[in-house]
């Protein structure tokens, strides 16, 4: 007897497969479909165009740029799902729901990772990147969609490429004099990272940066973030993420933030911090049980970076 015969055979692509797939996604609940019903992203066009186009286009020569509203929606997906530039390109190509949200029918029209980086840099350098997302959250709140079920803050490492520097060059970088190096070779200098630093955690060594992220508990939206060099302790990078909109909310933190309760309270928030065990003072059963309850909420921040 053929062993395969006892199992259901997979079907080939059917005539109405795309319609059936879309119907099933809508039945399961597509958050991007719901978002599109509430938010007309065209309201952000004036802010985008004033930042990106500072003068009249002098000729029609060359390839026209990708629509700025489409690119802002790409940046929204990147921030909402916590994706790198490479991963947002991959996910748009791979996911029908992403392409539908963006209005892209042909994968050849998907912006590549370099274009995503370029637009984000342009918006950041002109000071409108954070302004746009602040406007987005204000608009959502005006529609009665408030993100008010608590905040989660976490810090994660971003690995930088290893630098093949001499011992003397590394020492100058540690002293903060990295900008003085390789000035006679601009091409070499543009490939050097003088801001990344070494650090060690749980006997594992990292070289790069640390990303401090504040996430909304209910829907895992990234509300704000900051990037520091890797050696900065988790507890030193979180206060700048807090603002007046956080007042009265719970703030979930892991054991790396023990001792920061007063700072959290100064921002009129309720600190919910996992307790930390020590070699001469291990956690009790009650403390371990309490930590597990806290971690069920705090670990939601890890889902945001599931594609990284």
Beta strands in 231-286 (DSSP E): 250-253, 270-273
Q: Is the pLDDT of residue 288 over 90?
A: no
**Statement to judge: residues 155 and 278 lie in one domain:** yes
**Statement to judge: residues 206 and 112 lie in one domain:** no
Q: Is the pLDDT of residue 2 over 80?
A: no
Give the whole-angstrom CA distance, residue 119 versus residue 92: 16
Nearest to 74 by CA among 32, 25, 106: 32
pLDDT at 307: 45
Query: To the nearest whole number, what is the mean pLDDT of the chain?
Result: 80
77 domain-assigned: yes
Number of domains in the chain: 3
Give the whole-angstrom CA distance, residue 259 versus residue 90: 40
pLDDT at 43: 92
Tell me the per-residue pLDDT of 188-205, one tens digit each, with 9 for 90 and over.
777 777 787 878 877 777
pLDDT at 287: 86
Model confidence at 303, pLDDT cuts 50, 70, 90, reads: low
> What is the bridge-based pairing of β-strands 197-201 and 270-273?
unpaired
Domain hosting 279: range is 151-159+201-304
Residue 267, phi then psi, degrees to nearest 5: -90, 15
- Of all residues in the chain, what percent carry a pLDDT higher than 70? 80
Model confidence at 308, pLDDT cuts 50, 70, 90, reads: very low
| pTM for the whole structure | 0.53
**Statement to judge: residues 178 and 238 lie in one domain:** no
**Statement to judge: residues 121 and 44 lie in one domain:** yes
**Statement to judge: residues 40 and 97 lie in one domain:** yes
Tally Cβ neighbours within 10 Å of residue 102: 22
Mean pLDDT of 103-124: 92
Mean pLDDT of 65-69: 92
Nearest to 242 by CA among 280, 282, 214, 272: 214
């Amino acid at each position: 007897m053929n062993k395969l015969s006892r199992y259901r055979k997979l079907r080939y692509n059917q005539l109405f497969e795309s319609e059936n797939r879309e119907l099933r996604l809508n039945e399961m609940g597509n958050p991007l479909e719901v978002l599109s019903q509430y938010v007309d992203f065209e309201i952000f066009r004036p802010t985008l165009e004033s930042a990106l186009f500072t003068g009249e286009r002098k000729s029609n020569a060359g390839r026209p740029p990708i629509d700025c509203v489409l690119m802002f929606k790409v940046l929204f997906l990147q921030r909402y799902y916590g994706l790198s530039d490479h991963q947002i390109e991959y996910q748009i190509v791979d996911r029908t729901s992403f392409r539908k949200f963006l209005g892209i029918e042909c994968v050849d029209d998907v912006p590549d990772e370099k274009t995503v980086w370029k637009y984000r840099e342009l918006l950041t350098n002109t000071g409108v990147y954070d302004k746009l997302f602040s406007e987005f959250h204000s608009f959502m709140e005006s529609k009665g969609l408030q993100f008010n079920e608590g905040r989660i803050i976490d810090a994660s490492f971003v690995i930088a490429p290893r630098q093949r520097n001499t011992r003397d060059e590394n020492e100058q970088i540690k002293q903060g004099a990295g900008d003085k190096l390789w000035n006679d070779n601009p091409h070499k200098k543009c490939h050097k990272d003088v801001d990344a630093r070494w650090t060690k955690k749980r006997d594992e060594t990292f070289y790069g940066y640390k990303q401090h992220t504040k996430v909304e508990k209910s829907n895992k939206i990234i509300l704000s973030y900051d990037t520091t060099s890797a050696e900065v302790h988790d507890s030193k990078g979180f206060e700048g993420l807090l603002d007046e909109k956080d007042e009265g909310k719970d703030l979930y933190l892991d054991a790396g933030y023990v001792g920061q309760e007063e700072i959290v309270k100064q921002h009129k928030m309720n600190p919910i911090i996992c307790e930390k065990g020590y070699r001469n003072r291990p956690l009790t059963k009650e403390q371990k049980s309490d930590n597990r309850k806290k971690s069920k909420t705090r670990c939601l921040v890890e889902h945001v970076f599931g594609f990284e």
